[in-house]
Structure 1
Amino acid sequence: MKKWQAYPKYKDSGIEWLGQVPEHWEVKRLKQLAFVRFSNVNK
């Protein structure tokens, strides 16, 4: 018995290593979703 049901439709993500994703998902670069700030806290 599966705990989670599969999504009804999938599409190609356009990213070779990722493969297929559910049809209603948007695939975006991480840098479009987050801002990375480097600091000197450990120095």
Structure 2
Amino acid sequence: MTGKYTVGVIMIEIEGPYHELVCKGLESRASELEFNLLFYTGTL
């Protein structure tokens, strides 16, 4: 992990012990949004 994450057009650069937590948080949030989109569009 480099500690750099792209969210849309925003680049987040994080150094130190928190970048892994943030990565996990972004991943879970992304899958949450993806799940919600699939659920609402009825393709799930």
Q: Normalised by the size of structure 2, how large is the TM-score? A: 0.31
Q: Is the helix fraction higher in 1 or 2? A: 2
Q: Is the strand fraction higher in 1 or 2? A: 2
Q: Which has the larger radius of gyration?
A: 1
